[in-house]
Structure 1
Amino acid sequence: MSADWYILIEEDIRDTKHLQAIEFRLHHWKLAAAHRVKGDEARIAAVAEDAALHYLPTTLTRYAKPGDRPARHAFLAQDGSWVVLVGLRGHQCHIRVSTARLMHVHEEKETPPKTLKEMLRGAWEGPPPLEPPWSPPPEAEDQDESAPGTGR
């Protein structure tokens, strides 16, 4: 387990899709930056506030000129994250700045490529069964009630 603290900056990304002559303007969050920060909780909160007050979203960078200072409305949520409305030259978007502790890191692991024999066997026998989807582990009392022979 790791105890590294990070400042996470998420941006509102706009995506326009066309379907049967109808234009859909879709919005979704994208993790734009993750910066490692060392220090105590006060320093981490100060760095998050600084990011909320000075970070320029990539959506607005294409409209920015040197010396421009965008309009900002920064809101501090109860959980300590910042939601910031940023406007520049008639364009507006919003970002979310939060602090998070990195808890687990798992490296990517790829399976080795199949041999010709395994590919032919797979074509003959069909694909292997899929892994069951994740579900929360059962609680102890759920296991006791469903145990066979308990007389319940």
Structure 2
Amino acid sequence: MTAEWYVLIEEDTRVTERADGVDLKLHRWKLAGTHLINGTEAQAKAVAEDAALHYIPAVLARHARPGDEPARQKSLKDRLRSALEDPPPPAKPWTPKAWTREAQA
């Protein structure tokens, strides 16, 4: 059975405001992206997992250098191996590789 699934990406956006001589760090969750997945639940889960592993939040992307990748519970050995073997990350923001409406057209 094919259905429409959405992968939603949220970011914690922090703003620091000053009030009465005190810095207040205000956290607000913001919807950063929605991706329509035309496929099965398993395909939608695969796209969501890919997003969790490769999406870089804007606050981190501002400070990233070319070749940086998000650390997702990798050991030092895995990081060194991936730095030598993996291609550099794309310059454009993360988007699903397949199963989106655009890919189906």
Q: What range describes the TM-score normalised by the shorter chain of this pair?
A: 0.5 to 0.7
The equivalent of 1:20 in structure 2 is 20
The equivalent of 1:72 in structure 2 is 72
User: How many angstroms apart in 1 are the aligned matches of 2:72 and 2:57?
Assistant: 12
Q: CA deviation at 1:40?
A: 0.4
RMSD: 1.2
What pairs with 1:108-147 in structure 2 (closer than 5 Å)? none
User: How many angstroms apart in 2 are the aligned matches of 1:4 and 1:29?
Assistant: 24
User: How many angstroms apart in 2 are the aligned matches of 1:42 and 1:70?
Assistant: 24
Bigger-Rg structure (1/2): 1
User: Residue 60 of structure 1: SS of its match in structure 2?
Assistant: helix
User: Residue 69 of structure 1: SS of its match in structure 2?
Assistant: coil
User: How many angstroms apart in 1 are the aligned matches of 2:70 and 2:41?
Assistant: 28
- Whether the 8 Å contact between 2:4 and 2:39 is mirrored in structure 1 is no
User: How many angstroms apart in 2 are the aligned matches of 1:5 and 1:71?
Assistant: 27
Structure-2-length-normalised TM-score: 0.63
1:44 and 2:10 correspond: no
Identity, in percent, stands at: 56
- Whether the 8 Å contact between 2:16 and 2:23 is mirrored in structure 1 is yes
Query: What is the one-letter code of the residue matched to 2:12?
Result: D
Q: Which of the two has greater strand per residue?
A: 1
Q: Which of the two has greater helix per residue?
A: 2
Unaligned ranges ≥5, structure 2 = 74-105
Choose between structure 1 and 2 for higher RCO, CA contacts under 8 A separated by at least 6 residues: 2
User: How many angstroms apart in 1 are the aligned matches of 2:15 and 2:54?
Assistant: 25
User: Residue 71 of structure 1: SS of its match in structure 2?
Assistant: coil
User: How many angstroms apart in 2 are the aligned matches of 1:43 and 1:70?
Assistant: 23
The equivalent of 2:29 in structure 1 is 29
